[in-house]
Chains A and B, each alone.
Chain A
Amino acid sequence: MIAIDWSGTLTGVRAAWRREISAYFATPLAYVFVAIFLLVLGIFTWDLSRFFDTGAADLAPFFYWHPWLFMMFMPALAMRLWAEEANQGTTELLLSLPVNLPGLIIGKLLAAWTVAALALVLTFPWWIAVNILGPADNAAIALTYAMSLLMAGGYLAIGAAVSALTRSAVLAFVIGVLVAFILTAAGWPLVSGAVADLLGPSAGDAIAQFSFLTHFETAQRGVLELRGLAFYFGFIALCIALNTLFVSHRRGGAQ
């Protein structure tokens, strides 16, 4: 059982956030991440979804790709968070600090989330474009952006927790993408339909409820569901708890 000492959490959050932000922007990592994300999202929205051919003043063709791109990009952003600490031997430094572990874990996650938020903010030209095309439902767009950010946090939480399992950032990325793919594809009609055919409609629905895709699609329709919020926040909390467990395990002597 893990005894969590919540005092000192904020100190840990602040220190870890600053450290990770510095690490992201001291190297080309954050810049490259943001640039490639914007480029790929732009190509997918423009070319594959034929954004301007739809003639509709909404961002559905743009948001459609978010879960699928986050599934790849967020584990890439989070893969080094703990794997690199283990690889460089700095886990020992962190564990010797007078802060509690969940604070460090939350701080690191928030730093990655900040970079993801920056990438999302830089997609604002799409929002402007859709308003030029015609009268857009800006409240629904704002809600979908907010849920997209929350969903990004979920994918990052997977990547961060998985990165605490290994010294290899590449391995953390591969496992992170695999887990993220399962949690995305579970809501894909092809998958949930196949499960429903095999095990019955209730099983298909149950599987879909564990998917990021399902809860994000609800938000895309302009509906704010408490169930969706609870799903994302609950999932992130679960990943933080698992991340704490994995890093705490190193206190017991695991290398």
Chain B
Amino acid sequence: MLDLQNLRKAFDDHVAVADLSFQLNKGEVLGFLGQNGAGKSTTMRMVSGVLEPDAGDALINGHSIVSDRRRAQSQIGYLPEGAPLYRDMTPVTFLRFMADAHGLPRSERKNAVERVIADARIASVAGKPISALSKGYRRRVGLAAALIHDPPVLLLDEPTDGLDPVQKRAVRALVARMAPEKSIVISTHTLDEVPAMCSRVIVIDQGQVVADQTPKALADSRPGGLEEAFIALADSREGGA
């Protein structure tokens, strides 16, 4: 479903992502980890078509993000870092806009909006201005927007950031419910979320894959568990640099 082929992106002299490759199949939930500046968000932006790669490609359900961007983007639901939203809109009007932009037929639009409002549990705030919503609710509106066209591939950048424990549990449950039918990439700093949501974990550093395992295998590789393993991977690269 998702096939990253030697993706590369540099900003001036700084190489953010260097020949990054991996595949993700239907039913997999990938925890995409790395320190700040490791290249996670740049990778997500390239795969979602927001940034053009300097080299390489990403195939989404067989469609190239480089040569067939519009079709590739139609296969993706993307929650950007910080969940940017139009604050003057309400969740309902924003979701209608997203349904419109994804070209959903008018007959399907209403059902799609109702479905994602229920999935993201935002019915109680659906008519309020987004500017008046808490960070947690805004994030859930962003998540609902990513789901509006029921895409086969989901790219979620920090989906649980700013959510309270009850909301986090709801997002985990939603991911678990969707997982069998989709390929999901979750970029997160919160390592606790990884075993709870992900079936596989990739750690990147300086734009390159440094680990690709199941969360359990990665956690078992160090006595201190996942956090220790993550720090050890980061330290080994720092030492080698």
Q: Which residues of B contact A96 (CB under 8 A)?
A: 48-50, 73, 76, 78, 80
Among B48, B73, B89, the residue within 8 A (CB) of A22 is: B89
Q: Is B85's CB under 8 angstroms from A251's CB?
A: no
How far, in angstroms, from A26 to B71 measured CA to CA in the complex?
Answer: 32
Q: Is A15's CB under 8 angstroms from B97's CB?
A: yes
How far, in angstroms, from A95 to B84 measured CA to CA in the complex?
Answer: 12
Q: Which residues of A contact B11 (CB under 8 A)?
A: 253
Q: Which residues of B contact A90 (CB under 8 A)?
A: 84-86
Q: How many residues of A contact B (CB 8 A)?
A: 27
Q: Is B89's CB under 8 angstroms from A26's CB?
A: yes
* Contact of A18 with B100 at beta-carbon distance under 8 Å, contacts A96-B73, A99-B70, A253-B11 already known: yes
Among A11, A89, A251, the residue within 8 A (CB) of B80 is: A89
Q: Is B97's CB under 8 angstroms from A92's CB?
A: no
* Contact of A95 with B50 at beta-carbon distance under 8 Å, contacts A15-B97, A18-B100 already known: yes
Q: Which of A116-151 contact B (CB under 8 A)?
A: none
Output the least CB separation between B14 and chain A (Å).
Answer: 10
B-contact bits for A1-31, CB 8 A (1 contact / 0 none) = 0000101100110110011001100110000
B104 — nearest CB in chain A belongs to which residue?
A11
Output the least CB separation between B48 and chain A (Å).
Answer: 5
Output the least CB separation between B189 and chain A (Å).
Answer: 18
Q: Is A252 close to B, CB under 8 A? A: yes
Q: Which residues of B contact A97 (CB under 8 A)?
A: 73, 98, 101-102
Q: Is B45 close to A, CB under 8 A? A: yes
Q: Is B80's CB under 8 angstroms from A88's CB?
A: no
> How big is chain B's contact interface, by range?
20 to 34
Q: Which of B39-69 contact A (CB under 8 A)?
A: 45, 48-52, 69
How far, in angstroms, from A202 to B82 measured CA to CA in the complex?
Answer: 56
Output the least CB separation between A35 and chain B (Å).
Answer: 19
Q: Is A93 close to B, CB under 8 A? A: yes
Q: Which of A80-125 contact B (CB under 8 A)?
A: 88-90, 92-93, 95-100
Among A7, A19, A95, the residue within 8 A (CB) of B86 is: A19
How far, in angstroms, from A253 to B85 measured CA to CA in the complex?
Answer: 20
Q: Is B110 close to A, CB under 8 A? A: no
Q: Which residues of A contact B6 (CB under 8 A)?
A: none
How far, in angstroms, from A23 to B98 measured CA to CA in the complex?
Answer: 15
Q: Is B222 close to A, CB under 8 A? A: no
Q: Is B199 close to A, CB under 8 A? A: no
How far, in angstroms, from A11 to B70 measured CA to CA in the complex?
Answer: 12
Q: Is A100's CB under 8 angstroms from B70's CB?
A: yes
How far, in angstroms, from A88 to B45 measured CA to CA in the complex?
Answer: 17
Q: Which residues of A contact B51 (CB under 8 A)?
A: 251-253
Q: Is A251's CB under 8 angstroms from B103's CB?
A: no
Q: Is A22's CB under 8 angstroms from B50's CB?
A: no
Q: Which residues of B contact A98 (CB under 8 A)?
A: 70-71, 73-74, 101-103
Output the least CB separation between A47 and chain B (Å).
Answer: 36
Q: Is B182 close to A, CB under 8 A? A: no
How far, in angstroms, from A252 to B12 measured CA to CA in the complex?
Answer: 11
Output the least CB separation between B25 and chain A (Å).
Answer: 23
19 contacts between A and B (CB under 8 A): A7-B70, A11-B103, A19-B97, A22-B89, A22-B93, A88-B84, A88-B86, A89-B80, A89-B84, A90-B84, A93-B145, A96-B48, A98-B70, A98-B71, A98-B73, A98-B103, A99-B101, A99-B103, A252-B51
Which residues on B are within 8 Å of A, measured CB to CB?
A: 9, 11, 45, 48-52, 69-71, 73-74, 76, 78, 80, 82, 84-89, 93, 97-98, 100-103, 145
Nearest 4 A/B pairs, CB to CB: A89-B84, A15-B101, A98-B73, A98-B74
Which residues on A are within 8 Å of B, measured CB to CB?
A: 5, 7-8, 11-12, 14-15, 18-19, 22-23, 26-27, 88-90, 92-93, 95-100, 251-253
Taking A11-B100, A14-B100, A90-B85 as known contacts, 12 extra A-B pairs with beta carbons closer than 8 A to each other, sorted by chain A number, are A12-B101, A22-B93, A88-B86, A90-B86, A93-B84, A93-B85, A95-B49, A95-B50, A97-B101, A251-B50, A251-B51, A253-B51
